[in-house]
């Protein structure tokens, strides 16, 4: 049973526009959510996180939104740049050591 | 430079052989993790360790073993009992789990033929 789902395997966006990556989860006990960026043959790099007591967190071009009632998480990248082209993973944890990852969304930013 | 070092980057083994993947961190983190990545399946947790000399099974521990004799080191052994060992293996750490991001190494690609 996939507790964290990324239903869009891929997304293409024009440079300078907004990229929106989505993530749904099923476990209402998750209290910490993260987004990672990954290039091929490299480890994931942490981008941004959000605690379940918040509904929004910003860091430069990256904003994460959390809708607890819908069990939905999204990452907005504005403006999108070609260097943002990568696979993005969302992850969730329930306050301990178990981090559950989604299957990833491949973002392609077109120049 | 603090970070997590995984070696080697690429590893090839014959079926039936055990193989050990190295993971070293100099971040002074208490918790360490092993994940496996397969195409289309995201990252799945194999084992994690909260503290030296202690570790717990993750979701897919069968066919794997770990040790945590030093804070800095968390080697993973892929045994011959692992049915589908070919994968990309990622080691991670964080200060003490819960509400802190995982820091990842650059992974080891294991190919078993």
pLDDT one-digit tens code per residue, A19-46: 999 999 999 999 999 999 999 889 999 9
For residue A50, which of A37, A38, A62, A42 has the smallest C-alpha distance? A62
Partner residue facing A95 (CB), from B4, B6, B98: B98
From B81's Cα to the closest Cα of chain A, the distance in A is: 24
Q: What is the largest CA-CA distance in chain B?
A: 40
CB contact (8 A) between residue B98 and residue A101: no
- Flag whether pLDDT at A10 surpasses 90: yes
> In the prediction, which pLDDT does A1 show?
65
Of the pLDDT bands very low, low, confident and very high (cuts 50, 70, 90), residue A94 is confident
Beta bridge partners of B90: B35
> In the prediction, which pLDDT does B2 show?
72
Chain A residues with beta carbon closer than 8 angstroms to that of B58: 98
> In the prediction, which pLDDT does B110 show?
96
- Flag whether pLDDT at A48 surpasses 70: yes
> In the prediction, which pLDDT does B32 show?
95
- Flag whether pLDDT at A72 surpasses 90: yes
Pick from A3, A30, A43 the residue to mutate for testing the B interface (most B CBs within 10 Å).
Answer: A43
Question: Residues in chain B with pLDDT < 50?
Answer: none
Name the DSSP class of A78: S
Pick from A25, A44, A95 the residue to mutate for testing the B interface (most B CBs within 10 Å).
Answer: A44
Section A99-106 average pLDDT: 94
CA–CA dist B108, A58 (Å, integer): 32
CA–CA dist A105, A90 (Å, integer): 9
- The answer to whether A70 and A41 are in contact (CB under 8 A) is no
* Token pair 């979701």 in the structure block, residue: B59
CB contact (8 A) between residue A43 and residue B4: yes
Instruction: Provide the sign of the torsion angle of the four alpha carbons B21, B43, A28, A19, taken in this order.
Output: positive
Of the pLDDT bands very low, low, confident and very high (cuts 50, 70, 90), residue A98 is confident
């Amino acid at each position: 049973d996939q507790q964290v789902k990324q239903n869009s395997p891929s997304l293409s966006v024009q440079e300078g526009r907004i990229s929106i990556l989505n993530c749904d989860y099923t476990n209402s006990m998750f209290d910490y959510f993260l987004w990672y960026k990954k290039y091929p043959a490299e480890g994931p790099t942490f981008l941004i996180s959000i605690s379940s007591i918040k509904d929004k967190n910003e860091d430069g071009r990256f904003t994460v939104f959390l809708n607890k009632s819908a069990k939905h998480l999204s990452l907005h990248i504005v403006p999108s740049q070609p260097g943002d082209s990568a696979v993005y993973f969302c992850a969730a944890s329930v306050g301990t050591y178990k981090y559950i990852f989604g299957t990833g969304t491949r973002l392609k930013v077109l120049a | 430079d603090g970070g997590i070092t995984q070696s080697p980057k690429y590893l090839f083994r014959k079926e039936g052989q055990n193989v050990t993947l190295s993971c070293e961190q100099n971040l002074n983190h208490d918790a360490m993790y092993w994940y496996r990545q397969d195409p289309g399946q995201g990252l799945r947790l194999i084992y994690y360790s909260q503290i030296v000399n202690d570790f717990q099974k993750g979701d897919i521990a069968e066919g794997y073993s770990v040790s945590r004799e030093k804070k800095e080191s968390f080697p993973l052994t892929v045994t011959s009992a692992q049915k589908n060992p070919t994968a990309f293996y990622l080691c991670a750490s964080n200060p003490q789990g819960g509400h802190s991001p995982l820091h990842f190494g650059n992974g080891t690609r294991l190919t078993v033929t």
